[in-house]
């Protein structure tokens, strides 16, 4: 008997940002699979089994979940934010495609969640109010030249740019290079947002500019949003309180 | 006495995709403001006033909401999907910036929602599993040359491309031109998803290819996702069942 597998988005952290659909599926699962700190966000239920793993083990975790589903379990793989944006859903589909033939017969559903970019944008206003690009500048799973090509295209296209996973101990210089590349296309006064651990204990938001942005302020829990030429600040008492990108836009030549 | 204003994302349509935070704020509001079909998704509560408006009146609606908050009301402006992605939050901040001085003193919060792109992606797999761009090809509020510039940049950067508001009766030819532009950079076999009214009555999903995509199948309720060179189909019995973009990527020269 083949079971079911749901890949469930927990949102950015706060319980009140988990959808009822996600909560219901988590409550009904026989087995929960995920990175330990994300599993810890899910309320305990008697009889439910938890399979916690380390952060780096995405493909192994996906295969474990598929094995459990093959054995007839009702499995929920938990993911922070939205499972489809730089998260677990990609790993599960890779495992299905490359793995055992029977895995294609498992009933797989993806349950969307509030992604980190939507939560971070909401905290400061509406910086994603117009065309934007979402990029992971990590070169763990792609060549650095592809990162540069995409940053260049996004900067040349005058998109608002969202950076997921902007920095880690193993990638200390990449973010600085990304800022320098974008600064060749945009004014130093362009708004930049560092959003750290949004909706979690330790949430911290910095609104700065491209000219002032310090890559050392980012780590693996930070999401960065870099404005387009149209992105604006609304200040009160000399301090920026909102950042937004208007719905209308003009063609700006570099 | 100045009131409060929340801009609340209702998600794509299904009640079980509205976050508890959004539901709580909607229940506590004295006044709800929004496009009539979105207001109709919110459960009625005794004593709560509703201010329904037409779809085109975004800025007027924002100003009305700010006036109500200035008068001491607790106002919720409702938005489909996420309020910060081509939706009401941008209009509210425009109104605050251009409007009466006192509007900057209103306590404004943005409550994120499951955006249409996340809901659509979840339905078919994980097409947004790697770097992507989000573009409105509408030339209502920006010049068509800027749309072309951004489509060109997104296509050249080998991004997955999400198109919001791809077509309407007033914009009959733009989507075809967008497809032709992208096809100069990508194979005809590139997966394309037409997602119509996701999680609502009348939901319809078409998985096709860039070579076969028919612009006439899109309207104002459709969201389109066009794969990158890495986006893949998983088929079963000859039919595509999942679309995903792997977490790893290679540099592809055109």
In SS3 terms, chain B reads as CCCEEEEEECECCCHHHCCHHHHHHHHHCCEEEEEHHHHCCCCCCCCCEEEEECCCCHHHHHHHHHHHHHCCCEEEEEECECCCCCCHHHHHHHHHHHCCHHHHHCEEEEECCCCHHHHHHHHHEECCCCCEEEECCCCCCCCHHHHHHHHHHHHHCCCEEEECCCCECCECCHHHHHHHHHHCCCCCCCEEEEEECCCCCCCEEEEEECCCCCHHHCCCCEEEEECCCCCEEEEECCEEEEEECCCCCCCCCC
Strand partners for A31: A49, A75
Task: Name, in order, each residue with C-beta under 8 angstroms of A147's C-beta and a sequence gap of 6 or more.
Answer: A135, A137, A138, A139, A174, A178
**Per-residue confidence band for A132, with pLDDT thresholds at 50, 70 and 90:** very high
Please indicate whether, in this complex, the C-beta atoms of B158 and A135 are within 8 angstroms of each other.
no
| pTM score above 0.95 | yes
| pLDDT of the residue at A1 | 62
Structure tokens given for A17: 């940002």
Please indicate whether, in this complex, the C-beta atoms of B152 and A157 are within 8 angstroms of each other.
yes
**Per-residue confidence band for A207, with pLDDT thresholds at 50, 70 and 90:** very high
Mean of the pLDDT values across residues A87-105?
92
Low-confidence ranges of chain B (pLDDT < 50): none
Mutate: best of B111, B134, B181, B248, partner A, most A CBs <10 A: B134
Mutate: best of A122, A143, A232, A249, partner B, most B CBs <10 A: A122
| pLDDT of the residue at A101 | 77
Q: How far is B4 from chain A (nearest CA, A)?
A: 15
Query: Which of B21, B1, A5 minimizes the C-alpha distance to B9?
Result: B21
| pLDDT of the residue at A254 | 55
> Among A90, A152, A156, whose Cβ lies nearest the Cβ of B244?
A90
Are the C-beta atoms of residues A222 and A162 closer than 8 Å to each other?
no
Task: Name, in order, each residue with C-beta under 8 angstroms of B28's C-beta and a sequence gap of 6 or more.
Answer: B74
> What pLDDT, in 10s, does the model give residues A23-77?
999 999 999 999 999 999 999 999 999 999 877 789 999 999 999 999 999 999 9
> Among B119, B153, B245, whose Cβ lies nearest the Cβ of A90?
B245
| pLDDT of the residue at B206 | 96
Q: How far is CA A118 from CA A195, B43, B112, B114, B224, in A?
A: 11, 24, 6, 9, 19
Are the C-beta atoms of residues B162 and B133 closer than 8 Å to each other?
yes
| pLDDT of the residue at B59 | 92
Alpha-carbon span B246 to A93, nearest angstrom: 8
Report CA torsion sign: B57, B58, B61, B66.
negative
> Among B82, B123, B247, whose Cβ lies nearest the Cβ of A118?
B82
Q: How far is B47 from chain A (nearest CA, A)?
A: 25
**Per-residue confidence band for A170, with pLDDT thresholds at 50, 70 and 90:** confident
> What pLDDT, in 10s, does the model give residues B154-192?
999 999 999 999 998 888 899 999 999 999 999 999 999
Q: ipTM of the predicted structure?
A: 0.96
Q: What are phi and psi of A228, to 5 degrees?
A: -85, -175
| pLDDT of the residue at B170 | 87
């Amino acid at each position: 008997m083949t079971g079911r597998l749901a890949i469930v988005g927990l949102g950015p952290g706060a319980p009140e940002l988990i959808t009822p659909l996600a909560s219901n599926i988590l409550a009904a699962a026989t087995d929960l699979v995920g990175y330990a700190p994300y599993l810890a966000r899910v309320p305990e239920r008697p009889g439910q089994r938890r399979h916690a793993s380390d952060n780096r083990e995405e493909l192994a975790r996906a295969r474990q979940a598929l094995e459990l589903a093959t054995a007839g379990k009702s499995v929920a793989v938990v993911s922070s934010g939205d499972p489809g944006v730089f998260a677990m859903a990609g790993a599960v589909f890779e495992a299905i495609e490359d793995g055992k033939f029977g895995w294609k017969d498992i009933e797989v559903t993806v349950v969307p969640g509030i992604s980190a970019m939507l939560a971070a944008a909401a905290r400061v206003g509406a910086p994603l109010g117009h065309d934007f690009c979402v990029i992971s500048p990590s070169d763990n799973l792609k060549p650095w030249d592809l990162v540069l090509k995409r940053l260049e295209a996004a900067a040349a296209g005058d998109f608002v740019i969202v950076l997921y996973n902007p920095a880690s101990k193993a990638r200390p210089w990449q973010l600085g290079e990304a800022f320098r590349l974008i600064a060749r296309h945009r004014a130093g006064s362009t708004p930049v947002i560092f959003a750290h651990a949004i909706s979690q204990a330790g949430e911290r938001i910095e609104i700065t500019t491209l000219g002032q942005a310090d890559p050392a302020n980012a780590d693996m829990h930070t999401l960065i949003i870099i404005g387009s030429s149209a992105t604006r600040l609304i200040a009160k008492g000399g301090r920026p309180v909102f950042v937004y990108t208007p719905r209308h836009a003009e063609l700006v030549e570099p």
